Structure 1
Amino acid sequence: MSHIKLELKPEQVAKIKEICKSFNNDPGELINVLHKTQETFGYLPAEVQEVVAAELNVSVAKVYGVVTFYSFFTMIPKGKHPISICTGTACYVRGAEKVLDEFKRILNVKVGETTPDGKFSLNCLRCVGACGLAPVVLIGEKVYGRVSPDGVKDIIKEYEEQ
């Protein structure tokens, strides 16, 4: 995957610095700073991580480590309709992988990618706590339970017109 260098605008850099400052540029607040920054920008590309690292006086590697460790942080822009498939144990044994494969096939994206039109992004989650409804798919905040590979087409259709 080639990395396109993102050019941050001065006002974006200023906004990141302002967020860092709101947490007193405290390295111990890194996770909170990243949450607030992702809330503002929608995702955390390397260029944003570099500014955060500089402001909190921590290494870029440390920031990257936190961003990649926690599944709620993302380095790619989320689609308008972010799709998350639960791959926790209950969902997995009830066929979540086949459901995931079907989403990948129909949308023609890999996990962690967004469709070229920006409509859908695809991700996996560990457990959403709805094990009785396994396999579970989340689209934005909406929960779909007992999803079968055959049902994937209809779920996508629901959002295509939006």
Structure 2
Amino acid sequence: MRTAEETFRALLDSVCRLQNGDGSQVDVLAGFYAEETDVRHPMAPLGDTPLLGREALRRHFGAAGPPAPAGFRVEDVHVHRTDDPEVVVGEFTYRGDGDWAASSVIVLRVRDGVIVESRDYLDHLGLARARGRLGALCEALVSPRA
């Protein structure tokens, strides 16, 4: 069974593989999460929509869209252990060719080798810029919501 840190590192590896075009990682990524899980993105520019359950995560990863800009990778990985062996805090930077970077912090609770809770603090603007989606994000931010 994986530790919280091992799960975090394996998750990052699979995200990179998915972003570099390996669609088989959708199921691998979903498998890192418990059937009943609670994943939130508190800093999401359009508001946080909780992902509650493995199937919600499968749909989330499946909707990632086309591969990221060339050379998508994770660097500057730091894992901070806590007094609770189920909880780790991971800091890292997504980088890619074209000299872009997006810093991230994820707080994970891993029980029995799977993620049961996660709070993902990502640089959504940096990722949108890198993927050429900044204009669409800005448009969505100023559009009235139903």
More strand by share: 2
Instruction: Tell which structure's C-alpha radius of gyration is larger.
Output: 1
Tell me the TM-score normalized by structure 1: 0.24
Q: Which has the higher contact order (CA 8 A, sep 6+)?
A: 2
Tell me the TM-score normalized by structure 2: 0.26
More helix by share: 1
